[in-house]
Chain A
Amino acid sequence: MQEEEKYQKLKDIIKIYLPEDVAITDVEKNSHFMNNLNINSANLVDIVLDVEDAFDIRLENDDMDQMQTVNDAMAIIDAKLKEK
């Protein structure tokens, strides 16, 4: 899977959980999920669960703790896909 395709797939998931005052065009690779995109911890879990389904991977508690920004998420997805 190409980087761009992965990024698009991730953005499609994030879009579902954005609060009303944040647009998908506001999402950048260095966006912080909680601080910049105003996504709360409950919705961040939903994003992780959707990512697991979309990429057929499984994240652990440590991964969740490290997943602060969109870039972090991309890195974790890459690492998990390589492990497969």
Chain B
Amino acid sequence: MKRNEEYDWILNELPYADPFLFLDEILRVDNNGAEGSYLFKSDSDFYGGHFKNNPVTPGVLLTECCAQIGLVSLGIFLLGKETKLKNLSIGMSSSQMEFLLPVFPGERVRVVSELVYFRFQKLKCQVKMYNKNDKLVCKGVLAGMIGEANE
């Protein structure tokens, strides 16, 4: 898949690294939402235990993937426009998710988010994750605090 270099600066600002980065590429970001994708690598350690002899991507990691792509990338984009990225402080404050289909090792997923609001450093989004057949895998509402730390 071809990388959209326009968004490289957002990838560079992400506060995550392997083994907890769940974002390969950003496909689109604007004031109203973000879209990106991630390939769940089949050799990831957690598949050995979730579940025994039956590897399925844990829901918490689908949620995390939705948050990194849908919430954090969007937050960095919105803050970056105002160059407020020094001392970035970040934390998830709520998640309400529904899981509809399993994601197996080696599957690529695509996350699409839609801004609900970004006010007083709280960012809230509706998120949806699709598999390679464009079937809805999970959806929900995520919120977090993101902004410059005061101290």
Contacts and interface: CB of A to CB of B under 8 A. Distances in A.
A46 B143 CA distance: 11
A49 B143 CA distance: 14
Interface string A25-52: 0000000000000001111111011000
A49 B144 CA distance: 15
B94 to A, nearest CB: 7
B131 interface: no
A6 B93 CA distance: 28
A63 B143 CA distance: 22
Contacts of A49: 117, 119
Contacts, number: 23
The prevalent SS among residues of B at the interface is strand
Contacts of A41: 121-122, 145
> Which residue among A44, A45, A46, A48 has the maximum number of chain B CB atoms within 10 Å of its CB?
A45
A64 to B, nearest CB: 5
Nearest to B144: A42
Interface in B125-151: 143-145
In the A-B complex, the 10 residue pairs with the smallest Cβ-Cβ separation, listed nearest first, are: A42-B93, A45-B122, A45-B120, A64-B120, A42-B145, A42-B122, A41-B145, A48-B120, A45-B119, A42-B143
Given A44-B120, A48-B120, 18 more contacts: A41-B121, A41-B122, A41-B145, A42-B93, A42-B94, A42-B122, A42-B143, A42-B144, A42-B145, A43-B93, A45-B119, A45-B120, A45-B121, A45-B122, A46-B122, A48-B119, A49-B119, A61-B120
17 contacts: A40-B93, A41-B121, A41-B122, A41-B145, A42-B93, A42-B94, A42-B122, A42-B143, A42-B144, A42-B145, A43-B93, A44-B120, A45-B119, A45-B121, A46-B122, A61-B120, A64-B120
Interface of B: 93-94, 117, 119-122, 143-145
